[in-house]
Structure 1
């Protein structure tokens, strides 16, 4: 879903507020349904910039003993 939204030119943000119980209440969902993620979607501002984030290399967080 996220890849399809990005392909369509939309920006996304996944968010997991804590606690999530309020969502069931305001959405009128039964007790057997539990929300676990909000997916915020919209068109980015024209001047929006994405930060460059470098990932750690494999050897920085693993050990092979």
Structure 2
């Protein structure tokens, strides 16, 4: 009964897959960070009365302001 050896590219394939997973995780992490920063910037901008009146018509449609 011959010894069964793993196929010759299997170790390299596993290393390549792990490298690819690392690259993808890096891109996903950077993308999440960018989205979080954009969310914070948008929330801060919407607190500005001038920007809010240009960006959305919600204040005009809601009626009388309470604050």
When normalised by structure 2's length, the TM-score is: 0.23
Structure number with higher strand proportion: 1
When normalised by structure 1's length, the TM-score is: 0.24
Say which structure, 1 or 2, has more relative contact order (CA 8 Å, 6+ apart).
1
